[in-house]
């Protein structure tokens, strides 16, 4: 270290504190990933172990117990139908995560494929990207609501609607990576040694898309969680009997004055998971995209 | 500029056509017969066929498509099944709350987001910066509807400063109407003000690292003027784009906000129409929202190229 410092010129020496700060900042971002990861793992655990954690049957209506404030039997009170708020929030994690994973997986497959095709085959580029533009001409939630209106309240349809909303953005990212790679020498070299298009896409282009894909998917996951809750809140999401944080919040809206506790836990659960997923996404982006590390 | 404007306008036509096509296809992805879905299982066969004719479902598909395009080109969005009125007049009746909400929310998000971002950039790395940006990241993670419920709980239920929900039209007096709109406007505007604050901060930091800012400082200019005159002016174009994107995104958020506060706007109309499976209203509402969204994006592009001539000539 001292040896290197000796060879540095004066302006470089003045720059030193900056590198020191960026090292600290990098550590801070790793903390983002760790914190986000812990919350995500905790959510997955809660969703998987829901029957063990929940204190009551989330679906059981006990009308005489309705709108109880938090007590020893019902830690976070009961809702308008006498269902236990805590147990419903625990089971709600299943829907949130299920939709999040379902949307991420389908967008990852379909969006990547579309992006690779549009980026690699010039003739497909314009038609595919125009259709994507058309889909992006809707505000996301409006497109999702419209699809739900047509398809009806089912969990599969929620996944379908939110996937359709998120696919164009991922396709665009993949396409732009492929476009910039297409003209590079190693792709040209692959061409000239006789690689087929399939081979080039699979073993040269796809691996280079991995880091932007990881970053995008973590944000798409977060958006899917918010999207599911928003649709359920609007009554255009999963069927009413499935415990969902969004529909719980919509129910609590009506009884806000008498039973404010019904809105606390579902809101905290939703906000915390979205916050964790955003942290994870921010952290991954900083880690995997060096161009952004300086900020 | 005129040439660029015309070119951008022309480019909007295919996008609008795609939007219209997507909304047309909406009725085709209904599982089974849309008329049957609308009427429910206990409708007579006769009534179902009549509705199919009314919706134009009996025509061959290409003809349906051409009819649909020519109808919306003439500004006819069809007839609502439940409201007994044309979709366009149903939309017009409900446009005021939505417009007012979007406008006020834009104002809230700019009035909070812009100064926050500038202050955070000016005192970069300070506790103030860290605290403000921490709040901004948190704020961006709080879903609109939970934010809204919290605001209602604090400011309407506990403090009683504002009504819990509902709407008074502007005709009843500005203040009376605003009293009902303040909480919705903050609900919708706060989340995007967090986004705006983050973007403003990072744009300002980019500019504050430039040579001409160093020059301005070197000639002894007060930091306040360096930040406001030299830095903000140059960072303003990308910030303006963000503001445009935010206003466009508020359109989607307005639907949710109207649901929280029971505002009788276009979003409420859409949600009610879904519940009643009033497909013409769903299609019309979605089409109009998407068209406005496209137009706002067009305006952003035009404004951007007006302010930064490099875009036009690229």
The CA distance from A219 to A225, in Å, is 10
Tokens of B90: 């149903």
Q: Are A39 and A218 in contact (CB under 8 A)?
A: no
Residues A262-287 have a mean pLDDT of 86
Decide if A275 touches B, using CB distance below 8 A.
yes
pLDDT of A292 reads 52
The CA distance from A207 to A218, in Å, is 18
CA dihedral over A216, A222, A227, A230, signed as positive or negative: negative
Residue whose structure tokens are 């147990």 = A87
Interface predicted TM-score of the whole assembly (ipTM), two decimals: 0.85
Residues B171-200: pLDDT tens digits?
777 787 788 888 999 999 988 898 889 888
pTM: 0.84
Judge whether residue A2 has pLDDT over 50.
Answer: no
The CA distance from A263 to A85, in Å, is 9
In a mutational test of the A interface, the residue from B143, B154, B266 whose CB has the highest number of chain A CBs within 10 Å is B143
Decide if A274 touches B, using CB distance below 8 A.
yes
The CA distance from B278 to B82, in Å, is 7
CA distances from A149 to B16, B27, B264, B271, B281 (A): 21, 10, 19, 9, 11
The CA distance from B158 to B13, in Å, is 51
Count of C-beta atoms within a 10 Å radius of residue B310: 7
Question: A115 Cβ partners below 8 Å, 6+ apart?
Answer: A170, A171, A172, A173, A174, A175, A177, A178, A209
pLDDT of A295 reads 42
List the single range of A12-21, B107-116, B270-279 with lowest mean pLDDT. A12-21
The CA distance from A31 to A292, in Å, is 17
Decide if A253 touches B, using CB distance below 8 A.
yes
List the single range of A216-220, A278-282, B14-18, B112-116 with lowest mean pLDDT. A278-282
Residues B148-161 have a mean pLDDT of 86
The CA distance from A214 to A206, in Å, is 12
Residues A148-175 have a mean pLDDT of 91
> Distance (Å) from the C-alpha of residue B255 to the closest C-alpha of chain A?
8
Judge whether residue A291 has pLDDT over 80.
Answer: no
Residues B277-300 have a mean pLDDT of 88
CA distances from A80 to A63, A83, A235, B1, B281 (A): 8, 7, 16, 60, 31
Q: Are A112 and A174 in contact (CB under 8 A)?
A: yes
pLDDT of B79 reads 81
pLDDT category of residue A24 using cuts at 50, 70 and 90: low
Contact A137 B253 (CB under 8 A): no
Decide if B279 touches A, using CB distance below 8 A.
yes
Judge whether residue B103 has pLDDT over 60.
Answer: yes
The CA distance from B94 to B112, in Å, is 28
pLDDT of A13 reads 42
pLDDT of A17 reads 46
Residues A58-83 have a mean pLDDT of 72
Q: Give the nearest chain A residue to B209 (CA atoms).
A: A295
Residues of B in contact with A267 (CB under 8 A): 143, 146, 149-150
Give the rounded percent of residues in chain B with a pLDDT score beyond 90.
9
Report which of residues A3 and B283 the model is more confident about.
B283
Contact A260 B294 (CB under 8 A): no
The CA distance from A134 to A137, in Å, is 5
Residue whose structure tokens are 């409006």 = A142
Beta bridge partners of B79: B86
The average confidence (pLDDT) of chain A is 81
Q: Are B78 and B87 in contact (CB under 8 A)?
A: yes
CA dihedral over A43, A48, A52, A57, signed as positive or negative: positive
Secondary structure letter of residue B172 according to DSSP? G
Residues of A in contact with B11 (CB under 8 A): none
Contact A150 B271 (CB under 8 A): no
pLDDT of A22 reads 55
pLDDT of B108 reads 93
pLDDT category of residue A21 using cuts at 50, 70 and 90: low
In a mutational test of the A interface, the residue from B16, B22, B203 whose CB has the highest number of chain A CBs within 10 Å is B22
> Distance (Å) from the C-alpha of residue B189 to the closest C-alpha of chain A?
16
Q: Are A186 and A124 in contact (CB under 8 A)?
A: no
> Distance (Å) from the C-alpha of residue B279 to the closest C-alpha of chain A?
8
Residues of B in contact with A11 (CB under 8 A): none
Nearest to B279, CA basis, from A99, A102, A148, A282: A148
pLDDT category of residue B314 using cuts at 50, 70 and 90: low
Of B27, B149, B252, Cβ closest to residue A139: B252
The average confidence (pLDDT) of chain B is 85
pLDDT category of residue A170 using cuts at 50, 70 and 90: very high
Q: Are B240 and B304 in contact (CB under 8 A)?
A: yes
pLDDT category of residue A28 using cuts at 50, 70 and 90: low
Residues B30-68: pLDDT tens digits?
887 788 788 777 778 888 888 888 777 777 888 888 888
pLDDT of A10 reads 44
Cite the DSSP H helix spans in B74-173: 87-93, 95-122, 127-141, 144-151
Q: Are B196 and B109 in contact (CB under 8 A)?
A: yes
List the single range of A16-30, A266-280, B80-94, B264-278 with lowest mean pLDDT. A16-30
pLDDT category of residue A290 using cuts at 50, 70 and 90: low
Tokens of B216: 């301005």
Residues B215-269: pLDDT tens digits?
888 888 888 888 877 788 788 888 888 888 888 888 888 999 998 888 898 999 9
Residues A143-155 have a mean pLDDT of 89
Count of C-beta atoms within a 10 Å radius of residue A3: 6
Decide if A128 touches B, using CB distance below 8 A.
no
Residues A163-172 have a mean pLDDT of 93
Task: Write a three-state SS string for chain A.
Answer: CHHHHHHCCHHHHHHHHHHHHHHHHHHHHHHHHHHHHHHHHHHHHHHHCHHHHCCCCCCCCCHHHCCCCCCCCCCCCECCCCCEHHHHHHHHHHHHHHHHHHHHHHHHHHHHHHHHHHHHCHHHHHHHHHHHHHHHCCCHHHHHHHHHHHHCCCHHHHHHHHHHHHHHHHHHHHHHHHHHHHCCHHHHHHHHCCCCHHHHHHHHHHHHHHHHHHHHHHHHHHHHHHHHHHHHHCCCCCCCCCCCHHHHHHHHHHCCCCCCHHHHHHHHHHHHHHHHHHHHHHHHHHHHCHHHCCC
Residues 184-243 of A with CB under 8 A from B: 226, 229-230, 233-236
Contact B293 A148 (CB under 8 A): no
Q: Give the SS3 label for residue B86.
A: strand
Nearest to B112, CA basis, from B42, B196, B179: B196
Residues A29-63: pLDDT tens digits?
577 788 888 888 988 988 888 777 777 777 777 77
Length of chain B equals: 314
The CA distance from B94 to B97, in Å, is 7
Phi, psi of B79 (to 5 degrees): -110, 130
Decide if A167 touches B, using CB distance below 8 A.
no
> Distance (Å) from the C-alpha of residue A114 to the closest C-alpha of chain B?
18
Of B16, B142, B251, Cβ closest to residue A139: B251
The CA distance from A161 to A82, in Å, is 32
Residues A100-141: pLDDT tens digits?
999 999 999 999 999 999 988 888 888 898 888 888 888 889
pLDDT category of residue A11 using cuts at 50, 70 and 90: very low
Residues B117-149: pLDDT tens digits?
888 888 887 888 888 888 888 887 888 888 888
> Distance (Å) from the C-alpha of residue B29 to the closest C-alpha of chain A?
6
Residues B191-211 have a mean pLDDT of 85
Residue whose structure tokens are 């505002």 = B263
Q: Give the SS3 label for residue B79.
A: strand
Residue whose structure tokens are 């991922």 = A170
């Amino acid at each position: 270290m001292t040896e290197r410092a000796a060879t540095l010129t004066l302006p470089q020496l003045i720059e030193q504190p900056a590198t020191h700060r960026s090292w600290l900042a990098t550590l801070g971002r790793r903390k983002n990933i760790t914190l986000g990861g812990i919350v995500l793992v905790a959510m997955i655990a809660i969703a998987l172990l829901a029957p063990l954690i929940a204190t009551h049957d989330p679906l059981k209506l006990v009308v005489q117990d309705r709108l109880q404030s938090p007590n020893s039997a019902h830690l976070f009170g009961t809702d308008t139908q006498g269902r236990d708020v805590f147990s419903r929030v625990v089971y709600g994690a299943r829907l949130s995560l299920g939709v999040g994973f379902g949307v991420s997986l389908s967008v990852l497959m379909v969006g990547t494929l579309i992006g690779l095709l549009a980026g690699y085959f010039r003739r497909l580029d314009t038609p595919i990207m125009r259709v994507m533009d058309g889909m992006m001409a809707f505000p996301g939630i409006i497109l999702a609501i419209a699809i739900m209106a047509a398809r009806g309240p089912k969990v599969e349809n929620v996944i379908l609607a939110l996937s359709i909303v998120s696919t164009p953005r991922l396709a665009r990212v993949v396409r732009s990576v492929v476009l910039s790679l297409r003209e590079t020498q190693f792709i040209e070299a692959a061409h000239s040694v006789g690689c087929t298009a399939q081979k080039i896409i699979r073993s040269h282009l796809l691996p280079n898309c991995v880091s932007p894909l990881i970053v995008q998917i973590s944000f798409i996951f977060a958006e899917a969680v918010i999207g599911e809750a928003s649709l359920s809140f609007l009554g255009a999401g999963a069927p009413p009997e499935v415990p969902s944080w969004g529909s719980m919040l919509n129910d609590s809206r009506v009884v806000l004055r008498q039973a404010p506790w019904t809105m606390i836990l579902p809101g905290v659960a939703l906000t915390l998971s979205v916050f964790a997923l955003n942290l994870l996404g921010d952290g991954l982006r900083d880690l995997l995209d060096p161009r952004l590390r300086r900020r | 500029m005129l040439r660029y404007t015309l070119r951008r306008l022309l480019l909007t036509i295919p996008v609008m056509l795609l939007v219209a096509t997507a909304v047309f296809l909406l009725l085709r992805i209904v599982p089974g017969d849309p008329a049957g879905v609308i009427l429910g299982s206990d409708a007579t066969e006769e009534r179902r066929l009549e509705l199919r004719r009314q919706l134009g479902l009996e025509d061959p598909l290409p003809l349906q498509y051409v009819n649909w395009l020519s109808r919306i080109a003439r500004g006819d969005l069809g007839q609502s099944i439940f409201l007994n009125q044309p979709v366009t007049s149903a939309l017009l009746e409900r446009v005021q709350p939505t417009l007012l909400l979007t406008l006020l929310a834009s104002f809230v998000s700019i009035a909070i987001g812009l100064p926050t971002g500038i202050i955070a950039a000016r005192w970069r790395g300070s506790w103030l910066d860290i605290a403000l940006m921490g709040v901004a990241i948190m704020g961006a993670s709080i879903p609109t509807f939970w934010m809204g419920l919290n605001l209602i709980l604090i400011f309407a239920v506990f403090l009683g400063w504002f009504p819990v929900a509902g709407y008074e039209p502007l005709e009843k007096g500005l203040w009376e109407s605003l009293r009902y709109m303040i909480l919705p406007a903050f609900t919708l505007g706060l989340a995007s003000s967090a986004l705006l604050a983050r973007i403003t901060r990072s744009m300002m930091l980019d500019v504050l690292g430039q040579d001409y800012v160093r020059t301005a400082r070197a000639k002894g200019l007060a930091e306040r003027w360096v930040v406001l005159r030299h830095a903000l002016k140059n960072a303003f174009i990308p910030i303006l784009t963000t503001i445009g994107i935010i206003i466009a995104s508020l359109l989607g958020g307005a639907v949710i906000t109207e649901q929280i506060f029971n505002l009788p706007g276009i979003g409420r109309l859409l949600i009610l129409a879904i519940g009643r499976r009033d497909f013409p209203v769903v299609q019309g509402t979605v089409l109009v929202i998407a068209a406005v969204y496209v137009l706002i994006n067009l305006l952003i592009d035009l404004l951007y190229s007006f302010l930064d001539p490099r875009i036009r000539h690229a």
